[in-house]
Amino acid sequence: MSTGDTGTGGMVPAQRDEAVPGDGPALELRGITKSFGGVRVLHGVDIDLRPGEVLGLVGDNGAGKSTLIKIITGVHQPDAGTIRFHGRLVDGLTVPRARALGVETVYQERALAEQLSMWRNIFMGRPIAGRLGFLNVRRMRRITAQLMGESMGFTSAALTPDTNVTGLSGGERQGLAIVRALHFEAAIIILDEPTMGLSLAETEKLLRFVDGIRAAGKSAILIDHNIFHVYSVADRVVVLDRGRVAGTFPTAKYSLDQLTAIMREVAATAVYTEPLSHSTVEAET
Ligand SMILES: Nc1ncnc2c1ncn2[C@@H]1O[C@H](COP(=O)(O)OP(=O)(O)OP(=O)(O)O)[C@@H](O)[C@H]1O
Ligand SMILES: [Mg+2]
C-alpha cells in the first residue's frame, strides 16, 4: 500500500499499486453473466469505458445496474464473462484488487465516516506516515485544506479540515468522496445514485464534480434514475434493460428527448428497434 505522501506538498496524486495507464478502454466488460439463486439478472453484458469518459448507466429498478457495479468493484464474481482494466485481463476480482486497480465507488450513504473529520476521511486507510511510522497529521491537514479550496471549491469559512463530516451537506459529502478518489489517483470512479436525497443546488454541484473527473482525465460510471442528470454530464449512456444492454447512446448524437423516447420504448418492448452501427442492440424479447 502506498503512503499517499508524494513529497510535493499538494495536488500530485498518490501512487496506485497496479493501475496501468495505456491505450484502449479503461474498463472492458465482455459477456458478463450473473445469476442469483437460479435467476439470471445479467445476460452477457458488454460495456466499454474509455479513458476520460463519463458513462451513464440507466435502466429500471432491478435492471441489474448495481449488480454490474458490484462485479466491477469485486463484490460479486460473475458466472461468466471477462473483465479487462486497461486491456489487462483480471480474473477473480476482489474488492482490494479492484481498489488497487484504481476503482473507487462513491455512494450517497456509505462513502464517509460521519463522526470523523474531513482530513481523517480523506486519508482513511491510506494515512501519510513518516519513516518511524508516526502519522504526519500536519501534512494531511494541509493537503485537505488545499483539496477543499482548489478541488472542492468549499468557500464556507465554517469548514476546516477538522470539521466533522456530520457538519457537511449531502452535496459536500459527495464532493469530498470524489475529491478523495481523485487524490488517490482513482482511474475509474463509480457513482451509484449519488444524487439521491440531494437538493437541486447540491445536485448541480455534484454534477460539476463529475465534470471534474473527466477534466482530470479519469473515467466515471454514473448511475442515476434521473435521465436529466445523466444526460447533462455523460458522454455516452448505456441503457440496461432486464439484465441486457439495450443500446449505448452518445449524448453528442442523441438529444435528451430522443434518449427519453428510446428508454420508454425499451421499457415497453424490451427492444430498441432502430439499427445503429455504434450501439449494441439486443433483439431478443
Ligand atoms: N445479493 C442478491 N441476491 C439475490 N438477488 C439479488 C441480489 N442482488 C440483486 N439481486 C436481484 O438482481 C436484480 C438486479 O438488481 P440490481 O440491484 O442490480 O438492480 P438495479 O438496476 O441496481 O436496480 P435499482 O435501480 O432499483 O437500484 C434484482 O431482481 C434483484 O432483486
Ligand atoms: Mg441499484
Query: Which range marks the domain in which residue 81 is found?
Result: 27-111+170-269
Question: Domain for residue 136, yes or no?
Answer: no
Low-confidence ranges of the chain (pLDDT < 70): 1-23, 107-112, 155, 271-285
Quick check: helix, strand or coil at residue 105?
strand
Residue 48: give its domain's CATH number.
3.40.50.300
Question: Domain for residue 282, yes or no?
Answer: no
By DSSP bridging, strand 219-223 and strand 54-58 are parallel
pLDDT given for residue 274 in this prediction: 60
Question: Can you give the pTM of this predicted structure?
Answer: 0.81
Question: Domain for residue 223, yes or no?
Answer: yes
Question: Domain for residue 21, yes or no?
Answer: no
- Kindly report the protein residue whose alpha carbon is nearest to atom 17 of ligand 1: 66
pLDDT given for residue 10 in this prediction: 38
pLDDT given for residue 4 in this prediction: 40
pLDDT given for residue 137 in this prediction: 93
Query: For ligand 1, what atom is nearest to the CA of residue 64?
Result: 18
pLDDT given for residue 282 in this prediction: 41
Q: Terminal CA-to-CA distance of the chain, rounded, Å? A: 47
Q: Output the ligand 1 site: residues, CB below 6 A.
A: 36-37, 41, 59, 61-67
Question: Domain for residue 41, yes or no?
Answer: yes
Q: What is the CA radius of gyration of the chain?
A: 19
Q: Cβ distance 81 to 44 under 8 Å?
A: yes
Exposed (0-12), middle (13-18) or buried (19+): which is 78, by Cβ within 10 Å?
buried
pLDDT given for residue 111 in this prediction: 59
For residue 70, the ligand closest to its alpha carbon is 1
For the chain, what is the domain count? 1
